[in-house]
Structure 1
Amino acid sequence: MVKQASPFLRLPTEIRLMIYEELLLPPASSEPCPPSAKFVAPVYRKDEDHQQNNASHHLRAPRTLQIRTLDPDNTAAASSILSSPKSARPRYHIRDAMRTRTVTTTYALANNPGLHPAILRACRQCHAEAAELLYGAYVFDFDTHVEAVVPFLSTLTPLARARVARIALVKRALPSVKEFDRAEWRAACEYMARELAVPGLTLSLGVVAGKPPSSSGAVGGSGWDEVPALAVEHFRLIQPRSLGSRPSSGTATPTDNGGGAAEDASKVLNGDLLYGLGLKAIAGVDFEWVEQLLWLRGLRELHVKAIVEYCPPPVSETMAFWVSFSKSVEKGFKQWIRGVMLV
């Protein structure tokens, strides 16, 4: 007996697409997502909004899905997912609020605009037809919850991952970054570079920036008025000497220098000009995260935004340099990293 197609699949393609839109693209709400105690709080205070009224810190598309790590200490919110034997959502480990012990948790959607993604599980054809509509229309905003990037993306099919068009991340304040933060950032960058369609990807990068109060006490004064800004030339100190291919499973990272510290900056390797010094840190401020971000070189678009929080006046070389970097996030740093990554 000939197997009959379902009535839904016998509908004209245009009608099916209209149904997918009703299920996956509900009318976008302009209301900000209220804060929720069930999610791990960000590690920064946003003290300036740069004239933006949106709840997100990024240059937003009309539709944004906020992926957040559940707070494991909020048992009412996390236990239903973590204890459910039917939940296939991956678990992962994070540091607790005091960052002294490791706890198990998972991620959840902080704002549900009325999605009905179950249609993607109906059959392969529905998944193929609806995946581009869902994953290409939304910004997947992780904020500082970088640890959720790999668990979330790994649950998607290869077809769905290839349709992801927009990712938003926030880099924590550099002086407070710990070793586990570095490991989470590296894992996220490596996975995205290897598994996502980078040439079609738009990345919105927020960088937590510190601004001290003005020491002069002048009305309208800013602590940034008294510190030097970093120019594009300064950021070439942290640019790797070689910008090669993206990482793949089992291979060395594309910026490994092999100990060749004395390489001539005029040499060319695999068509890439070697003119960076590849410094891992300057004045005690870690910049290895930038090297790992460069694994996503070749992006379709890159947005960079400073998320300003007030900090005490710097009393060390490390803090003084971080304040100078903070002042330069939307100037020299933005100009340099866009010039390197958008090729």
Structure 2
Amino acid sequence: MPPLEADYDESINNSTDSVDDHRWSKIFPKCVADSNMSAAFMKRAIYVAFSVILHRRKILPDEFFSKNYITSKMSCFLLCFKNVKSHAISQWLKACGDAVQKKHLKELCLVVTKKEGEVEAVETYSLKFHYYEDGRVAAALGTKYNEEPSTPFEKLTELEYKGTSSVRDQLVLLVRSIIYITQKVLKPLPPDFAVNFRIEYAEGTPDDFNVDGFADSSKFYTLPEDVQSATLGHLRPGHHGAFMDCSSKYMEDAYKAESDLKRHLDGIASALGYDSNESIYQTMETVNVSKDSKQYITPEKTKEVESPEAVTVKPGESPIVAPRKTRASGRSKGIALNFRQSPYSKTRSRK
């Protein structure tokens, strides 16, 4: 069964909280209010968002993608199941979605580095997750000084679920954000670079739990201090929350990027009759992006990971590295080390 094919029971969706769009319901649940449907939506949203990034940023060649409609008004190019290599990447993303369903995933990040195996990234697309107890926002137990603006993640935790149609709008606007920032804001990537997926587990994840396709590593990623970061959008189905941001050396001004992006999305939302939703942009309150909103991790030790086997590719094609499905032994306990790094990696040379 293709990773995107809807395989859930729609009988529970006979409510007013639903989206009546045959294109949408071919991929996503008509209603995303309950825990199972919320998780099903998140799985497919992960696949859609990272497919658009890989295509629009020209990280993978066109033959890895096929045109799909996610609503009756919007189409985009998603990883193609008929292509063996793109299907494998889809399966890795599906495994991450399964981890979200179990509430074991804290962050999924597409990391671009200058060379394979480097810790410092030149560009990242990070999707961070939050899990709502019984679908409700928890009461705040602390206070913040007025001069301290909330981080994007704190804003996410305070968002209420507003119905499936609102979630559809959020996904459409997230995809539009990705397209805009990759086409209008970011400078092109250099001729040579490396890319892989890296994940961080949520607190309380069992030591013996593994996401299929991801191997143990003591390396997550770091960002240069002068890197610019912009929030692309958020998702808030019934029992889950996620927001995506982009950090890049090829972004000149995060404040201008987010301001232009918000103007662009407001126009799209107005034209489509969509809800533009609450903003959780990073730079709307201050020009300087808070360092607390980024990951600065210095591993205490380095653990060697067996090198994956490279897949044979044709000249000029992006090489994909096949993952080894390894199991953890002596898993690191430190908070900063509680993550995995995917053996999926590629280096692209452009002419």
TM-score interval (norm. to shorter): under 0.3
Name the structure, 1 or 2, with higher relative contact order (CA <8 Å, separation 6+). Answer: 2
Scaled by the length of structure 2, the TM-score of the pair is 0.23
